[in-house]
Amino acid sequence: MQINATRKGQRIKAMLAGELDHHSAQYVREVLDSLIADPQIRELVLDMSNVEFMDSSGLGVILGRYRTLSARGGRLLLAGVPAPIDRIFRISGIYALVERA
Amino acid sequence: MFKNQMHLQFSSLSQNEAFARSVAGAFFSQLNPTLEQLTDVRTAVSEAVTNAIIHGYRNREGLVTLEGYINGSSAKFIIRDYGIGIEDVALARQPFYTSHPELERSGMGFTVMETFMDEVEVESSPGKGTAVTLEKTLRREAQ
């Protein structure tokens, strides 16, 4: 799993690439947590266009970061969601909490 | 009618999640599935293997078995662990249920399996382990 991030003011955009499963989840969690560690960060955009595989482990990772951001009045957005991953997001109801960029 | 089977056993390491779903996907490809059907199987197998590793063995060392069967245009996968088992299978299958809230799991593993496969069967004995059977039938016959 590879993560490339850019910051613009209070907004971080993270490009994820590779496979997001239980094995890679811990690494992704740590990287995203360090990216949003600064309490000034209000918005995290996860660009999923290069995620080749994701199972429900990815939902836990996204929901955890969503909680951190919403506790400080921020938000999490999902961008470039590939169709197979979009199906998992839809059945989980995650779009009620996080927005599509 | 075309029939085939494979049996694979591997350590309960998270590194083997990608390995197991790749093997299942390659085996299932013999039925010439669509990309969506292939993703369904890879995702469902990944969920079952992850459950075996996290919940069956609680990240302790053990063995996970993946069996695959092709029978005509149907494929069946059985994922077995010999770990702690599930006390209440009906509860475990509920959406958003997780036995480990501290692990930041979504509790959607069984729901994903049920959505992506035609049949999902769970057999579990506390202290002996769990077997998850996943079945998918393609509408057209295998080539």
Q: Where residue B141 falls among pLDDT bands split at 50, 70, 90?
A: very low
Measured CA to CA, the distance from residue B43 to residue B77 in angstroms comes to 12
How many Cα atoms within 13 Å fall on the side-chain side of residue B80?
A: 11
Q: Residue B142 falls within a domain, yes or no?
A: no
Pairwise CB contact (< 8 Å): B115 & A91: yes
Which CATH number is A35's domain given? 3.30.750.24
Put simply, the answer to whether A56 touches B39 (Cβ < 8 Å) is: no
**Number of domains within chain B:** 1
Let me know if B17 is a catalytic residue.
no
ipTM for the predicted complex: 0.94
Interface of A with B in 43-72 (CB under 8 A): 53, 55-57, 59-61, 63-64
pLDDT value of residue B140: 61
Determine the structural domain holding residue B32 and report its residue range. Answer: 3-137
Burial class for B3, CB neighbours closer than 10 Å (0-12, 13-18, 19+) = exposed
* B143 within some domain: no
List, for residues B60-118, the tens digit of each pLDDT value: 899 999 999 999 999 999 999 999 999 888 888 888 888 777 778 888 999 999 999 99
For the whole model, what pTM was predicted?
A: 0.94
Q: Which of A19, A53, A60 sits opposite B105 (nearest CB)?
A: A60
Segments forming the whole domain that contains residue A20? 2-100
pLDDT tens by residue, A78-98: 999 999 999 999 999 999 999
Q: What is the pLDDT of residue B88?
A: 86
Residue B106 lies in a domain: yes
The count of structural domains within chain A is 1
Size of interface A-B (CB pairs under 8 A): 63
Give the CATH number for residue B106: 3.30.565.10
